[in-house]
Every structure is written in C-alpha cells, then in structure tokens.
Amino acid sequence: MAGAARPYQTMIRDFDDNEFPLAYLITFRTYGTWLRGDERGSMDREHSSYGTPRIARNLTLENADAARLQHSPLALDTKQRQVVEQAIRVLST
C-alpha cells in the first residue's frame, strides 16, 4: 500500500482556513468569589497548566485567602451582568 493515505490523516482539519472563529469561550470570576481551596476546585500558579490537577477542597487555605481580602466579594447583580453581556457582544462582533 505504498502511497496510501493513513486514515487519521484524512480526518485532520486545518483550523486556520477561516479568519473567523467558530465560537469563543469567555469565562471569568469576580473579586473574592472563588478562592483557593474552594469546594469547586481551584487553581494557583503551581496548578495552572493544562492537565495539572486542581487544588482540592481546603478550608484552611480558603479561610486564609478570605482573611486577606481587602474588600467584600463582588457578585454581579442583574444589571451588571447585562452590562457585561452587552460589552462582550459589542466587542466580539
């Protein structure tokens, strides 16, 4: 079978063939709402590379980070979330 294409080679798609992305994933947290040691898992400088395990639930670490906050945690209200959504829509079109 000299010269025959390998099956996986025919499935490779060139993702640079379109100047517009298919989609964006935009995610962020606001101040103090997801601290290291949180039950949802968390990241820090040592746990931030792809494939690195997240920091497991750790109340001591979470409480220490909470004690260092210089302001109350910021949770966006409905109006603030709408403003953020509109800004993302405007900037991504």
Report the C-alpha gap between 87 and 84 in whole angstroms: 5
3-state secondary structure of 55: strand
Query: Quick check: 46 and 3 in contact, CB under 8 A?
Result: no
Asked whether residue 12 carries a pLDDT value surpassing 90, the answer given is: no
Task: Give the pLDDT confidence score for residue 55 in this predicted structure.
Answer: 93
Q: How confident is the model at residue 40 (pLDDT cuts 50, 70, 90)?
A: very high
pTM tops 0.85, yes or no: no
Measured CA to CA in angstroms, residue 43 lies from 29, 46, 51, 71, 93 at distances of 12, 8, 12, 21, 31
